[in-house]
């Protein structure tokens, strides 16, 4: 069994894979790492190997608590990957994006594919059918857009994410929802359309914390997979274990 640990800014995602299949998934706050990990390990037993994606967010004590129990592979910018990377500044490329592209390699081989990760930021990452990563784009996510309207204006309220009632907002709240949600949806559709003009056989994957919410705004043509990052991390672990 493989143990997958993805450490974000405030939340840690943890998963168990067996023979390439996701068996267990959970999430917890970073500050409760030691307590949660000990309990998780006791419940789910021994693991053959583990991959940790953290970019320095774990303390030595937290990292050593994992190493005491299982062989650990730490993902970084120098990790061997299952694709050719043409990004001009690979040392600045987020390791979460490396994992997403690796998942494309594994699940959509020989395919022109775009993965969109809708979280705090929205990232776009493109892999050619020749297994070459070209790069993509980074844009503000839903919550950042709501927060920016509140932080950088005097009177606009901070709202919870909500599907707008229609295109035309007839109140300040509805106008914000229309601008934020439909604005991002139209942005995604526009970016996808530009890629499709160049790559007519494009496959598009939508993942991340807002994937389920956003996928409901699209008519068709996009595959939503909230576990895509974890699946990519598991594939990188297997790739480096052979």
pLDDT at 56 exceeding the cut of 90? no
* Average pLDDT rounded to a whole number, residues 45-57: 86
Domain that holds residue 145: 84-234
pLDDT tier, 10 (very low <50, low <70, confident <90, very high otherwise): confident
Average pLDDT over residues 219-226: 84
- Tell whether 42 and 148 lie within a shared domain: no
> 201, 88 in Cβ contact below 8 A?
no
% helix / strand / coil in the chain, to the nearest 5?
40, 25, 35
Query: Do residues 20 and 98 share a domain?
Result: no
Chain centre to alpha carbon of residue 228 = 7
Note the pLDDT of residue 220: 67
Question: Is residue 236 within 8 Å of 81, Cβ to Cβ?
Answer: yes
Is the whole-model pTM more than 0.85?
yes
My answer on whether 23 and 110 are in the same domain is no
User: Could you tell me if residue 242 is inside a domain?
Assistant: no
Specify the range with the lowest mean pLDDT, choosing from 46-50, 52-56, 132-136, 210-214: 52-56
**Which one of the listed residues 6, 96, 117, 210 is annotated catalytic?**
96
Q: For the segment 68-89, what is each residue's pLDDT rounded down to a tens digit?
A: 999 999 999 899 999 999 999 9
62 and 109 both lie in a single domain: no
Does 62 reside within a domain? Answer: yes
Alpha helices in the chain, H assignment, sequence order = 33-44, 60-67, 95-107, 142-151, 172-177, 183-198, 211-215, 228-239
Residue 188 pLDDT > 90, yes or no? Answer: yes
Query: Does residue 157 register a pLDDT over 80?
Result: yes
Question: Is residue 96 among the annotated active site residues?
Answer: yes
Euclidean distance between CA atoms 120 and 127, whole angstroms: 22
As to burial, measured by CB atoms within 10 angstroms (0-12 exposed, 13-18 middle, 19+ buried), residue 74 is: middle
Domain endpoint, select from 18, 42, 74: 74
CATH number at residue 69: 3.30.420.40
187-211 burial, b for 16+ CB within 10 Å, e for fewer?
A: ebeebbeebeeebeebbbbbbbbbb
| Tokens describing residue 44 | 């789910």
């Amino acid at each position: 069994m493989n143990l997958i640990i993805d450490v974000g800014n405030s939340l840690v995602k943890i998963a168990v894979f067996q023979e390439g299949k996701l068996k267990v998934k959970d999430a917890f706050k970073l500050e409760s790492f030691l307590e949660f990990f000990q309990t998780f390990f006791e419940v789910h037993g021994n693991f053959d190997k583990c991959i940790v994606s953290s970019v320095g967010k774990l303390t030595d004590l937290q990292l050593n608590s994992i190493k005491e129990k299982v062989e650990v592979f730490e993902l970084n910018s120098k990790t061997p990957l299952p694709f050719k990377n043409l990004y001009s500044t690979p040392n600045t490329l987020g390791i979460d994006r490396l994992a997403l592209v690796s998942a494309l390699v594994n699940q959509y081989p020989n395919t022109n594919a775009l993965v969109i990760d809708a979280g705090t930021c929205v990232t776009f990452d493109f892999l050619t059918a020749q297994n070459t990563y070209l790069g993509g784009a980074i844009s503000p996510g839903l919550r950042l857009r709501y927060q920016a309207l509140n932080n950088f204006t005097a009177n606009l309220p901070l709202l919870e994410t909500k599907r707008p009632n229609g295109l035309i907002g007839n109140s300040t709240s509805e106008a914000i929802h229309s601008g934020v949600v439909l604005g991002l949806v139209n942005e995604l559709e526009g970016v996808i359309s530009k890629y499709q003009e160049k790559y007519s056989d494009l496959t598009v994957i939508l993942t991340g914390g807002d994937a389920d919410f956003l996928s409901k705004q699209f008519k068709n043509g996009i595959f939503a997979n909230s576990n895509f990052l974890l699946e990519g991390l598991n594939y990188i672990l297997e790739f480096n274990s052979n």
